[in-house]
Amino acid sequence: MRTALYPGTFDPITNGHLDLVKRALRLFDRLIVAVGTARDKAPLFTIDERVEFIRAAVRGIGDVEVIPFEGLLVDVVRGAGAVAIIRGLREVSDFEYEFQMALMNRRLASEIETVFLMPSERYTYLDSTIVKEVVMLGGDVEGLVPEPVQEALLTKRRNR
């Protein structure tokens, strides 16, 4: 059984992330979605909320496990028994950062591969930051995030 790990902050998970989950499952038997603590960011949702949003969103998709993580990514990948890291590339500007991270991960753990996947064209512009910004400014993100996430974002907007 070949396992891959898809790391991210997922603050919040979008339908673009879910698209990559489905694409990764075409290549691997099992996928672990690893939700990072995002110490260097100020997440809108707690790590527990993000983990629960993803668990609800991936229910029934395939062999997907969702875990929180902190620390060095390659240590988490090794501990999970995964052979690859899944990363999404939406645009050229993503490539530079992702390439740098992939090379560092390869230096730290040469047995772990990084697999870059492109989302469906309809999600190439989509990221968590823009979703949060649109919602907080009163815009509609229906169809861009799972329904429970949309509801939680609207609640956050009302409570600000």
Active site residues: 17, 41, 90, 128
Q: Which amino acid would we find at residue 146?
A: P
Q: Sign (positive/negative) of CA torsion 17, 22, 24, 29? A: positive
Match 């909320």 to its residue by tokens: 49
Rg of the chain over CA atoms, in angstroms? 15
Give the bridge partners for 86, in sequence order: 115
Residues 6+ apart with CB under 8 A from 27: 4, 115
